[in-house]
Every structure is written in structure tokens, then in C-alpha cells.
Structure 1
Amino acid sequence: MSGGDTRKERPASFQGLELLPVHLYVLAHLRKAGVDYAKMMAKMSELPLSLIEDAIKDLMEAGLVERDSGSAIKRSKARFKKAFEVHKHHTYSRLSREGELFVRSIDEKWLKNYFDSLFPGGWKVVRALAEAKNFNELPKDLRGDKIREELLLHRFITPNGRKTTFFKLLVEFLSV
């Protein structure tokens, strides 16, 4: 990767871009899907379209994502498509070579450092939440108000404590 070893940087950043969970989701989604467009990512994750579009723009500026050229797309390239071939009616994105290498380098150690840098004990909380039905079923030491605020801020839970679709997809795509 250009710019040296990114693991020496803060775990939640990539060449100056502060990686938010939505950025991580877009990267993981594109790794799984091959190519896709913002509206479909927003629909699947139930996040606002503007949030996904901003994340894609940030990732393009960082060189991790690029536009996919061409007028038609085959299912072999866009793995979430149901039709064999579709004509593009949206702006499709895909991982750049650097983005592909970065996503491949994400392992459990990187995820632990990433979530712990988001908020104290983040990795432990994310793993526990992935296993629990909702926030209220977390162990008592992980149900503090500050943790709840962080989970709400990052859109991991709803105000009533249920896991969001975004969170479920994020942990599935990252194999947490």
C-alpha cells in the first residue's frame, strides 16, 4: 500500500481519514457485493442515503473506493443482483486495489483495536451485542449510560435498545 504501513496509524484512521463504522460498512459491503450503488447500500442497512453517499465520497477521496465504469453489469460482478445482467441506472462503486488490500488486512486484532479506539471497551461491547438479542441483555457491566450513548451515536442500537439492521450487517460482513 502506498503511504507506508497503515497499521502504524491510529486504528480508526486510514491515511488521514477517520474511519467511522459507516465507512467500515461500505468497505465490507463492497467486498461482499463486488460492486453496488449507494441507494441499495442505504436500503439494505436502513441508514440514510445521504450518510452512505458521504461515506462513499470520503472513501473515494482516500483512494479506497472508485466508480465502476460501463453501462451494464453482470451478476458475476455484482453478487447481490438477482438478474443475470442489468443496465446501470445508478452510479456504481467498487473497491479500488488499495481498498481491496486494506479490507483483506482487517483481522480480529485490527477490529479489536478499531472498536476499542471508538469507545472504551468497544470490542468487548460489540462482540457481546452481536451475541445478545438487544442492549438490555448485555451483561450488567456493559449496560452503562455512556456505552448506551456510544452505541446510539454509532447507530448500533435503536433508542429502545434493539440492534439495528446496520449493526447486524456490519458484524456479519466483518465476521465478528
Structure 2
Amino acid sequence: MVSQAEIDRLRLEADTIMTRYQTVERALERARSESGEHWETGELPISLETPHGESIDVTLDLESSPADNAQVRYDRASELEAELERQQRIVGQLAPLPADPVAYLICYHLDAVEGNYPRSMAGHLDAERGQVEDLCEEMETAGVLERVESGTVKQRRVKAKQAEEVRQHHTYYRLSRQGDHLLRFLDDPEGKRNVLRHLPDGKTLVERLARGGPDYPRMTAEELEMGFEYVRHLYRALRQVGLVTEYEGSTIKASERKLKPKDETHRKHTYYVATDHGETALRELDE
């Protein structure tokens, strides 16, 4: 999560570099003329006095000028500030959820099976195991998930396994009470609107379907220059929320598909279309 403290720190470092411009310039020139570990890392740690008279530690890019070192921090602070503003527009219940479609899929999966471990979840969701592990840890820290206590996990609580009970050799997760509330929030119109704020690329996909008709992940990924796996998971997450749904017909008529007009298209892929909920959420966002 982006914090105001991180933004303030970056700007303070940038202001300090510019205020102590000559000191920074001399330190960089001296380091470039000397041997040392800084040549291996390309970075130069230095202590500087801020405009407020306090001492802070700053890590400089050895090859960049003082102005460039400062500008990188100003630019990053602006990016983080924009992200923070976006997060603050999201209703609180979605803020703890990582802005990743796989995070949504994990929550819906755990809602269905009541408990599972990352490697198994990765298989069910066709996602990278490392990504699932990282997201589970992040969501546990945020309070969306909780670990199932160690020992034997009863089958009634872990439906992903078929045995009557499962000897726990992995770290199992389940939705916390906060996670349950979050999924209920996603059932509400307000929750669906906020998904489009939380997942900006999701808004792009729903708009694409609403304006152009049925589309499938690979074509979307190629035309929008996004990763195929990312788009595939994004469509699935949006479907779970109810903003898109799979196109059920065997043939797509020309009048239905404006993205790539043909007399008709025989389906060879999984096509998606925007739902009424999706189109309503888009309209309400623009009001």
C-alpha cells in the first residue's frame, strides 16, 4: 500500500539534494575518482542535512547528476501520490485487497472451498505458485485472509480435498470475517463500481466489451498490449464480480461484434460480454 510518509520522504530527499547541490556534486565526483564498493552497486550512500537542519541518509545514483537524482525522486513521488489518490477514492472495504485479479480469484476460491494452501490454489486458478503465495501473505497481513490453525483440517472446512480429513502439511488459508464482508460488498452495486476503480485495467476491459461487443482474452491482450495470462485472470475476476459474463451462443452475429466485424463468427475461444451490472457501473462512474 502506498503511504503519504513514503511520498513525503521522497520529496524531502529531493529537496535536500537540490538544497545541498554542491555538496552532492562534490561527493559524486570524488566517488567517481576513487575505487570502492560503490562501483559494484552503482550507488553512493551519503548523509545530508535537510533544509530543516536534520540529518538524513540518501542513496545516490553514481552515474547521475544531482539534478537527475532529485528528479527521479520527484517523479516517483508524483506517481505514488496519484496512486494514493486513486486508493483513497476506493471505498474502504476494497482498499486492503491487492489490485491484482488473482487476489480476487483467491478470495472467491476460498469462499467456495473454505480453506486451501497456495500450491493447490495455484493449480485450481491456473496461476503462478509464487504469485499466489505472495498474495496470500499480503492479504493475511491486510486482514482479508487468516491462517487455518495447524493440525488436522476437517473435510467440512476444506472442500478442495476429497478425504474426510486432511493432515495439514502446508500453510492453509481461509477468508477472514473481513474477507467475507468484502465479498458481500462486491455483490452490491457500490462494490461493483469500486472494482472498476480498484482495477483500472478492468474498467478498460468492461468499456471495450460494452462498446465493441464480445471479445476473447488473447485478442484483448494483443490489441491492448497486455500480458495474456494477466488478461485471462482479469476476465475471470470480472466474471466472478458480475461485471462480465461468458458469451453463450455458438455463433456471434455481425451486429453483436463491432471490434472485428464479420458476417458471423463461429466461436473457437471463450468470449466475454459486459453484463447489465457492468454497463450500469460504467455509467455511474462517469456521472
Tell me the TM-score normalised to structure 2 length: 0.44
Selected match of 1:170 from 219, 237, 240: 237
Confirm or deny: 8 A CA contact 1:28 1:173 kept in the other structure. yes
Q: Structure 1: 5+ residue runs without aligned partners?
A: 1-6, 137-141, 158-165
Please tell me the residue identity of whatever aligns with 2:102: V
Selected match of 1:22 from 99, 102, 118: 102
Please tell me the residue identity of whatever aligns with 1:61: T
Q: Structure 2: 5+ residue runs without aligned partners?
A: 1-86, 245-287
Cα shift readout 1:6-57 (whole Å, capped 9, x = no counterpart): x974269834654221211111111111000000111112211110011011
Tell me the TM-score normalised to structure 1 length: 0.68
Aligned partner of 2:165 in structure 1 is: 85
Aligned partner of 1:99 in structure 2 is: 179
Provide the secondary structure at the position in 2 that maps to 1:106.
helix
1:58 aligns with 2:124: no
Confirm or deny: 8 A CA contact 1:45 1:169 kept in the other structure. no
Aligned partner of 2:151 in structure 1 is: 71
Aligned partner of 2:278 in structure 1 is: none
Does 104-113 or 73-82 show the bigger shift? 104-113
Please tell me the residue identity of whatever aligns with 2:148: D
Please tell me the residue identity of whatever aligns with 2:230: R
Query: Compared with structure 1, are the counterparts of its residues 127 and 72 closer, same or farther at alpha carbon in structure 2 (3 Å cutoff)?
Result: farther
Aligned partner of 2:231 in structure 1 is: 156
Please tell me the residue identity of whatever aligns with 1:121: T
Q: Which runs of 4+ in 1 moved over 6 A?
A: none
Please report how far the alpha carbon of residue 113 of structure 1 lies from its aligned counterpart in structure 2 after TM superposition.
3.7
Please report how far the alpha carbon of residue 134 of structure 1 lies from its aligned counterpart in structure 2 after TM superposition.
4.7
Confirm or deny: 8 A CA contact 1:30 1:36 kept in the other structure. yes
Aligned partner of 1:114 in structure 2 is: 195
Aligned partner of 2:206 in structure 1 is: 123
In our comparison, the structure showing a higher alpha carbon Rg is 2
Across the aligned residues of Structure 1 and Structure 2, the Cα RMSD in angstroms comes to: 3.5
Confirm or deny: 8 A CA contact 2:94 2:182 kept in the other structure. no
Provide the secondary structure at the position in 1 that maps to 2:231.
coil
Please tell me the residue identity of whatever aligns with 1:123: V
RCO higher in 1 or 2 (8 Å CA, sep ≥ 6)? Answer: 1
1:37 aligns with 2:122: no
Provide the secondary structure at the position in 2 that maps to 1:91.
coil
State the aligned residue count. 153
Please tell me the residue identity of whatever aligns with 1:72: T
Confirm or deny: 8 A CA contact 1:30 1:95 kept in the other structure. yes
Query: Compared with structure 1, are the counterparts of its residues 46 and 16 closer, same or farther at alpha carbon in structure 2 (3 Å cutoff)?
Result: closer
Q: Distance in 1 between matches of 2:221 and 2:229?
A: 16
Query: Compared with structure 1, are the counterparts of its residues 133 and 154 closer, same or farther at alpha carbon in structure 2 (3 Å cutoff)?
Result: closer
Please tell me the residue identity of whatever aligns with 1:118: P
Q: Distance in 1 between matches of 2:120 and 2:208?
A: 28
Please report how far the alpha carbon of residue 73 of structure 1 lies from its aligned counterpart in structure 2 after TM superposition.
1.6
The sequence identity of aligned pairs, in percent, is 22
